[in-house]
Amino acid sequence: MIKLKISLLTAFVILLCVTGAFAQVKKDLNIVFIGNSITYGSGLSDPATEAPPVIAVNYLKQQSNIGKVEFVNQGHSGYTTVDFLPSTNGVFKDVEKAAKAFTDKQALLIFSVKLGTNDSAIEGPRGAPVFPEVYYQNLKTIADSLLKEFPGSIVIFQHPVWYSPNAYNGAKYLA
């Protein structure tokens, strides 16, 4: 009985050590940022250094458990979920191409999606207004397609900025 307890305790300690050792391994990331002008960094003096994806990646690079971080910004001004649907011959192909272009195939592939502001316009962008039920279905279609094409990847949805009555840029946004 004592030998069994010692064996179980030893196994438990080994499990803790192995799990702890793996926890110390830095994870490399490949991130494709999908979005509209907010993601792109429109209006910033230098989107290449100031856009939200750049800020997010710089933050991730400072984390102790994150290794190398590569990213692609697929933000496009005026784009809606309709533009990113695989069936519309839109930019979904560019997203796929960007994801396939990463050189580190062992890194965790993440798709960060921030779409919705242009979907909420009452007129202007392609497909607008995209009603909430259609918006949800569009996001689901995009995510399902990405996960089918890239098994093991992660899709993260960022909360969109909806109905901004002060963002007139060729489209109309009314509450």
What are the extents of the domains in the chain? 26-157
* Residues above pLDDT 70, as percent of the chain: 77
- Residue 116, pLDDT above cutoff 90: no
Average pLDDT over residues 134-139: 93
| Rounded alpha-carbon distances, angstroms, from residue 135 to 10, 68, 92, 119 | 53, 33, 16, 7
The rounded distance, in Å, linking the Cα atoms of 100 and 122 is 35
3-class DSSP state of 64: coil
Average pLDDT over residues 25-44: 92
* Tens-digit pLDDT profile for residues 40-71: 998 899 999 999 999 999 999 998 889 999 99
Torsion of CA 118, 123, 126, 132, to 10 degrees: 60
- Residue 33, pLDDT above cutoff 80: yes
Tell me what pLDDT residue 70 has.
97
What pTM value is reported for the model? Answer: 0.81
- Listed residue (73, 170, 74, 156) closest to 128, CA to CA: 170
Torsion of CA 60, 64, 65, 67, to 10 degrees: 60
Tokens of 133: 């039920």
CATH architecture of the domain formed by 26-157: 3-Layer(aba) Sandwich (3.40)
Greatest Cα pair distance, the chain, in angstroms, is 78
**DSSP conformational letter for 125:** S
